[in-house]
Structures are given as structure tokens and as C-alpha cells.
Structure 1
């Protein structure tokens, strides 16, 4: 029986993949990846030129993305069926082919990755391994050229999909902030940061570590829909040794 191996690809730059992930991707004969309908898929784009010509690819296309509210019963049921079906297909494929199946995942698979939903469904049905990767937020704060946390700073990671009042509550209590899943939620994130008194400290990093990377102060960025792969950062300013005069 083959294994199902989810490889974390890191923040976007192929040079930031782990040695193990790179080796598995290049040797894979069966490769699965998530994508929106009509798109190539971010994870698949990250391995362009790395896959063997003989590799068989399996595009796991989300049945819905933004068409339904993410917390609605219809959305939850639709996604549950999608993950059920692909867990069945991957388990059967691993058994029938007796070869490893490499599942591609941006960032780290266990950090808000879609593969987690397959991982829980595959337990006891297939041999499953996870190769960790550098989370996208780490790549984003590295390209700002500033330390993200100092001393005993408390770092809070938030989703832009949270209600505005919830965002404000967490932001007010945090020393350093990462906001993921911005995209069309950017106006709400901007308002929450302003209410928390931290808008002037915020950065917006779009496509961090990728060729189309953009970095700028959030206050200087137009209030328009930004890409899904955009992260808002507020760097910590905590305890540190004094610099010599």
C-alpha cells in the first residue's frame, strides 16, 4: 500500500522548500493539489518545472469558494462532501497503485491548511505522513526586513473573516499581529486596526516571497480587494537590550 504524503511547500519561493519536500515533489508519480475551478492552483504553480514528466496529476477543485457564506450550513455540508469524496479517492488510489501520493500544500499543512480535513478522514484507512513547511506569514514578515517579535511580545494570528468587533478585541490585547485571509475582508481589517489604534503600524504584504510580491504600509494602500495571498502585519515593539550610544 502506498503512502499519502502531504508536503508543505513553504511561503511561495521554491528555494524556501525543505530539502525533503523538494526531493518528494521531484520523485512523485502521483501528485494531488487543491485549486479553484478554472485556476491552476497556487500550490501547483509553486512546483512548476519540478514535477516528473511522467507524473499523474489530480486537481482537487473546491465545489464552492465565495459563492456561499463560509459559516452557512450549505457551505459546510458542501465542503464536507468534497473532503469525504477526495479522502475516499486518495485512500483507494494508494491501495490500488501501491505507490506514494504526494499532496501539495502551501505554507505548512497543519497551519490552516486544507489538507487537515483530509488528514482526519484518512486516519486508519491509509498511511499518512506530513512534511512541515515554512508558514506563509513567516515569509511575509521576513520580507519586511523587521523582527516580528521582541522579548516577551505576544503574537496573535487572526483570520480576516472574523467579525469586526472580534478583530478589535484580539488586536487590542496583542503586541504583534498577523491577519490572514484578507482579500475582500481588507476593509474590515483596516477598520478594526484603526479602532484598536494600530493602523499606522500595519503593513500589507501581497504574494510574499513570490515574483509578484508587493510590500507597503497599509495606510498607503488603496482600500480595494487584495489577493487571497495577502497578509497584514503589525510588528511587536517589546523588550530588547538598549543599543549603545
Structure 2
């Protein structure tokens, strides 16, 4: 039954699911629309690690109203797909209960909800059953480019965005064909990604950025980057025409 059919039948009008981008980390990069929805939220859900605090929540902690119901979506930090999918099944069921009761639910998403965002998994489970609105946010890609003070591409150049989780062979193949590139999700894959960039002779163009927009942000030439990198870091390889 669609939301309109439920309302026409005299039942409870379902709440709306909001996928809200919280930006890359700096609370001042939150959009006004995102701030308004968070400020007025009755129910807020957010991804959280199995240890430590939720980064998405931490960004907007000062704006969450007192008394709001919070639903942490605890995702095990593992590469295996099954545990995470099970988590999203349960989270969608829990959020669906609130929506069915007529309460709007704001789901916090680091960066932008649909740019490598975990919100897409909730969207896939709840879209069609409830009204959904997406509130875009400043993505990590834009934040990293701004932090590095490097335009990414110009004129007819194209940008290739690559997850560092790809195999070394796949990274090599795709970087060879790229005008400009951004390699995300570094973490434990940093050494592999760096090795590929160096083998292709792209190190002189490459920049390394971690924790963009946060007080402990780090920006350097890739050649000067540390030996290890956090998950929230990126290698940028600007196009040849994108110079200052």
C-alpha cells in the first residue's frame, strides 16, 4: 500500500524518511535545510561503529534537540557483506516502525547521502513504502579538493573516482585511462594505492588529504605523506589542465 492509499483509507499518515547529508566534518558546512530538519527532528538515526562514537552524529551534535529519539545503526567494521546487510535489514525495520506511526525520521549521512553513503541501503529497503526526501550535503570530494586548494579537472577533462578497495590491477588499469582521479577509502589500502600511483609516474601531481575540513586536517604532496592513512583520507590527482 502506498503512502497516499494509506492516508485515503483513514489510517495513520506515514512519516517521511529524510536522508540528510551532514557534510565532511565541519558543522559550518551543513546546509541550512539539513540544519532545520535536524533542529526540528523527533527521530534521528545515524550510522555508528561497533566501538567509538558516530562521526555523522558528532558533526551535528550541537543541533540535535533534547528529547529526540535516537536510533544508532551499529555497523561492524568488517569487509564482509552479510553482517552489514543484516544490520540494515534490522535498521530499516526499526525506522519503518517510526514512519508507520506517523513520525518523520532524519537519517544522518556523512558527506552526501548518495555519494558512497550508507543511506542508500536504507533507501533501497524503505523507498516505495514511505515518502523519502534526500537532502544533499557537501561531499568529501569537494571538501578534499578545497582543502588541497587544487582544482580537479578543466575543459574537456573527466574525473575518475576510485575506491582504494579495488585490486591493484584494477586501480592501475583505471588510473592509466584517467585525466584526473580521486582515490577514496584509503585506510589499510593506502600502501597499495600509493604504490600504483608511483608506478604510473603520477606522484608529482598527487596530493594527500586526511580529515578534510576538521581542525586536525592534513594536506601534503603524496611524496611527503605519512606511511599510514586513516579511512577518511584521499589521494587527489588533478588533471593536467586543472592548474592554478
Q: Is TM > 0.5 for Structure 1 vs Structure 2?
A: yes
Q: Secondary structure at the match of 1:210?
A: coil
How far is 1:192 from its partner? 0.7
Contact 2:21 2:110 in 1 (8 A): yes
Aligned to 1:185: 189
Distance, in Å, in 2 between the alignment partners of 1:137 and 1:124 is 30
Q: 1:234 aligns with which of 210, 233, 237?
A: 237
Per-residue CA distance 1:176-228 (angstroms, 9 max, x = gap)? 1101100111000001101221122211111001111111111111222x111
CA distance in 2: counterparts of 1:41 and 1:185, whole angstroms = 22
Match of 2:5 in 1: none
Q: Distance in 1 between matches of 2:165 and 2:174?
A: 13
Q: Does 2:211 match 1:207?
A: yes
Aligned partner of 2:36 in structure 1 is: 23
CA distance, structure 2, for counterparts of residue 11 and residue 5 of structure 1: 18
RMSD: 1.5
Deviations 1:114-143 (A, max 9, x none): 010110111222222111111111011011
Verify the 8 A CA contact 1:152 1:238 in the aligned structure 2: no
Match of 2:97 among 92, 99, 108: 92
CA contact (8 A) 1:152 1:239 kept: no
- Residues 1:78 and 2:105 aligned together: no
Which of 132, 138, 141 is the aligned partner of 1:137?
141
Residues of 2 paired with 1:157 and 1:112: CA distance? Answer: 11
State the partner residue of 2:47.
Answer: 34
Aligned to 1:65: 77
Q: What SS does the corresponding residue of 1:102 show, helix, strand or coil?
A: strand
CA contact (8 A) 1:25 1:102 kept: yes
What runs of 5+ residues in structure 2 fail to find an aligned partner?
1-13
Aligned residues: 231
Deviations 1:151-182 (A, max 9, x none): 11111000000001110111111111101100
Q: In structure 2, which of residues 14, 27, 52 is the aligned counterpart of residue 14 of structure 1?
A: 27
The runs of 5 or more residues in structure 1 that have no matched partner are: none
Q: Deviations over 1:84-109 (max 9, x none)?
A: 1111111111112x221100001111
d(CA) in 2 for partners of 1:183, 1:45: 21
Q: Give TM-score, length-normalised by structure 1.
A: 0.90
Task: Give 3-state SS (helix, strand or coil) of 1:47's partner.
Answer: helix
Matched with 1:120 is 124
Q: Which stretches of structure 1, 4 residues or more, deviate above 4 A after TM superposition?
A: none
